[in-house]
Amino acid sequence: MTRPIFANRLDAGAQLSGRLTKYVDADAVVIGLPRGGVEVAARVAERLQAPLDIIIVRKLGVPFQPELAMGAIGEGGHQLIDRDVVRHLHVGQAEIDEVERSERRVLDERVTLMRHNHPALDLRNRVVVIVDDGIATGATARVACQVARSRGARRVVLAVPVGPRDVVENFVEADEVVYVTAPVSFGAVGIYYEDFAPTSEATVLDLLDEADVRMKVSGPRDDS
């Protein structure tokens, strides 16, 4: 039985940030993937003395097995489809379109809520460290990398506490992948945490507010 490695997401962020110290004072921007990834990212951003932002993404679950990702979408109209999964499970284009429409509505609602007081940071020519609380298929992280590159990131780093070895070692969408552990035999992300309670939208907004205050003390926020 797999034993938890992280007490909670803040502990995961502390452990992960220790592997990212070369990006202290590197003009980096830390991006958390809402919702759970933002808790991890907040600790990383604090350690790197970097601003914290978000890229809002949504998994596209297989219609008859929604916990399994067949792709993902991101703000700005980005989409990624795992054609191997779609082909293997015989998912039709109409089914993909229906799932995407549903998830796009949720994504748009979150963009409206979370971007209201937190406009997107300018990523042009910046090192962008994309953080989630863990990856399984990596679909949402891949589309987040697409979004970051489309917004002009100079270097994209994916940083996660845990992910399957085969996924993190073949993650071509990022220039670098940093992780705490990457088991060959992987279970669900949550089993590597003692506390994996859902992160609320209110918590995400509070963490963004706290990061803004921290950056105002140390330097101006570089808004787009």
- Tens of pLDDT, residue by residue over 128-175, are 999 999 999 999 999 999 999 999 999 999 999 999 999 999 999 999
The Cα 201–Cα 93 span in angstroms is: 32
Contact between 5 and 114 (Cβ < 8 Å): no
pLDDT the model gives residue 220: 44
Domain 9-214 classification at class level: alpha beta
Contact between 68 and 61 (Cβ < 8 Å): yes
pLDDT the model gives residue 3: 82
Query: For residue 21, what is the DSSP state?
Result: G
Angle between helices 36-48 and 9-17 (to 10 degrees): 40
Average pLDDT over the chain, rounded to whole? 94
Confidence class for position 217, pLDDT limits 50, 70, 90: confident
Task: Scan for tokens 């509505």, then name that residue.
Answer: 105
* Domain boundaries along the sequence of the chain: 9-214
What is the rounded average pLDDT of the residues 3-9?
A: 94
